[in-house]
Amino acid sequence: MAKKKIKNIEEQIIRTEYSEIMRKSYIDYAMSVIIARALPDVRDGLKPVQRRTLYDMHELGIRYDSPYRKCARIVGDTMGKYHPHGDSSIYEALVVMAQDFKKGMPLVDGHGNFGSIEGDGAAAMRYTEARLEKVTQMCYLADLDKDVVDFVPNFDETEKEPEVLPVRIPNILINGAEGIAVGMATSIPPHNTGEVIDAVKAYIKNNDITDDELLEIMKGPDFPTGGIVTNKDELAEIYRTGTGKLRLRGRVEIEEVKGGRQRLVVTEIPYTMIGAGIGKFLNDVADLVESRKTSDIADISNQSSKEGIRIVIELKKGADIKNLENMLYKKTQLESTFGVNMLAIADGRPETMGLKKIIEHNVEFQFELSNRKYTTLLAKEREKSEVQEGLIQACDVIDLIIEILRGSKDVKMAKACLTEGNIKGIKFKNPMSPAQAEQLRFTPRQAQAILEMRLHRLISLEVEALLKEHEESLAKIAKYEDILNNYSSMSRQIIKELDEYKKEFARPRRTLIENSEEAVYEENRFEEAEVVFMMDRFGYARTVDPSTYERNKETIHAENKYIYTCMNTDKILVFTETGQVHSVRVRDLPAGRLRDKGTPIDNISNYDSSKERVIYAVPLDSISMGMLLFTTKQGMMKHVFGTEFDVSKRTVAATKLMDGDEVVSVKLIGTEHNVILRTHGGYFLRFALEEVPEKKKAAVGVRGIKLSAGDYVEDVYFTTYTDDAVALIGEKEVQLNKVKLMKRDSKGTRIKL
């Protein structure tokens, strides 16, 4: 029995190349992401999560004219029925569809905190509420009951969901799309609803219309944030190929202020600045002032509100406004690019399409929807007409029908008589009735309607109404047959519906499209000057002019650890115990009054005060002709020429360290002759500086002192032969030149402290 089981298992083993399985699995995964998650369908312009969320809201009855419902209910229902990929992705999709600053035409009416244009996130789904917008109900979800789209099983085959929504306007152009799949991404800008509808109508009327002619109707992108597209001449190529770059600018206005001054007011921002970009813009403008690239700005404030964007830049008197405006375009996100890649799922596969191709797919979809809609309506109207004809005929022989019903034993017998003229078993009172009954040939549907007919339908007014209804049904049948059999009739019907949508939902264009010259500006010429660099023990640095330093020398030396006179074109080198050296441009440091706090060097360099500690700071010019002595905790020492640190990188390794070691001291060598090392255990070693060799910055160095187990170097001192230097250690003074002069790599002399 065991052998038989082993044999069966062996028969089930599939022997194949592992690489082939990985290749196939990855392709399956990639296609799943591309088709089922990341990219929109060209027909309805929606990703699966968006489509499922809207359909679920429709199924829940959360219409535009009904009360709001909690978003948590919508998300939970969507996740449980249609989209088993986590609640966060569903809620984020719902939030974006409700944000009027991201969507050209929001599809969801949000109630509560749904985020802001400045990057504030939406409130949790348990707090917010939502319902469908009117446009969504009318143009995206209408006619689902008319068999206009195919329904497919959901993930566990317990529900049915639409393969695509019956969207009657090109949503992929109106709202745009963004998505990152595997190896591909889509980025389609939003457009003006009225212009897109006009472009679709133009294509329906003339399938041979060119891209240039379409662009005369649909001018280009229309972002909800407004702004300006500055490369109009490049749009034709972008919309022909489906790829390219749009150059966007914010809209800037000039306002007069009292005192003869002016200010720049940003009233519209580029679409790419939505979110954290506004805060970054404010910081970038402040950096322009701090780095002295402009001296025309007095202040900047963000006065934006629900009414719109308003970023105010106060200017100094006599400011060069045009030059400053161009500087903002070049140096900040007030001018940026939007990469266009009109990629969508068409006929079940991803495809990059131009404008005409997208409209072509949309029009084909509209005709398919209309064909299926009017086929369904025609079938229903024919059924209705059939019943009406039967009731009208029944009214003419109502006495005979009543006699048949009274003489029948059951409904089956009566129905057989009405449909087939079968009078077997039916008792008639009038001798002429059997012959008349045998002539009856109602259809099964008509017979059922006659059996269910109420007596009040025999009133003359009701009969007249029935005749009128029948005439209307015949007119509708003729209309539907004409629409289905004639391309021109269906075209007129689609165009008529598009006109209604345009009248109801179109809005004025927000984005201006023009050809603008490239922004050219002239920076303030940087004047070389002597300054005094100061940095306190907390790492806050700044500069003052030499005259301020001379007047406040005592205070400055009391409050700061590093003080140097240098040029504002110089660099400050910051050495840390981790063996790194960070470069800081003096011109990047704030220059101002003595009492200004300065700026942390973390903000203007790669230095991280949470991970490393400053050992030494010195201007590059001060060491360019000199030599630095490095000493580590484990007693390793070396000399390095200052020119080694004149590099373009902001951070480089100043020395190589062994495991567990760190830099204790970096000192610039002057006229000193001796170096003295002090260890934690109280050992002092004094030897000649010339015993320490010169090494490259990437070297470890040589051993300066022999350390006992657990001991380490704690401090380093310099002396000359005639120096009477004293080191104060705790409360004890040590005469450094009285320490015994020995050779490098000795143990040193122990001094009780």
For the annotated catalytic residues, the residue numbers are 127
Measured between alpha carbons, how far is 25 from 20 in angstroms, rounded to an integer?
8
Q: How far apart are CA 535 and CA 695, in angstroms?
A: 29
Strands 636-641 and 702-703: antiparallel
Write out 75-117 in H/E/C secondary structure. Answer: HHHHHHHCCCCCHHHHHHHHHHHHCCCCCCCCCEEEECCCCCC
Say whether 439 sits in a helix, a strand or coil: coil
SS3 label, residue 643: helix
Q: Which contiguous run of DSSP H or E holds residue 265?
A: strand 262-268
User: Contact, 39 vs 47, CB < 8 A?
Assistant: yes
Among the listed residues 146, 151, 164, 169, the one whose alpha carbon sits nearest the alpha carbon of residue 373:
146
DSSP code per residue over 131-185 = EE-HHHHHHTSTTGGGT-S-EEE-TTSSSEEESS---SS-HHHHT-EEEE-SS-E
Q: Tell me which H or E stretch contains 312.
A: strand 311-315
* Residues ≥6 apart with Cβ < 8 Å to 740: 686, 749
How many other C-beta atoms lie within 10 A of the C-beta of residue 720? 13
Helix (H, G, I), strand (E, B) or coil at 397: coil
Distance of CA 208 to the CA centre of its chain: 37
Q: In this structure, is the dihedral angle defined by the CA atoms of residues 451, 453, 456 and 457, taken in order, positive or negative?
A: negative
Residues 6+ apart with CB under 8 A from 286: 300
For residue 16, CA distances in Å to 11, 19, 20, 23, 27 come to: 14, 9, 7, 12, 17
Residue 68: count of CB within 10 angstroms of its CB? 14
Question: With contact defined as beta carbons under 8 Å apart, do 262 and 286 qualify?
Answer: no
How is residue 91 written in tokens?
Answer: 């809620």
Q: Which residues of 612-739 form beta strands (DSSP E)?
A: 614-619, 627-632, 636-641, 651-653, 663-668, 674-679, 683-688, 702-703, 713-719, 726-729, 732-735
| Whole-Å CA distances, 96 to 92, 122, 178, 482 | 6, 10, 11, 42
Nearest to 264 by CA among 304, 312, 318: 312
Determine how β-strand 530-535 pairs with β-strand 562-567: antiparallel
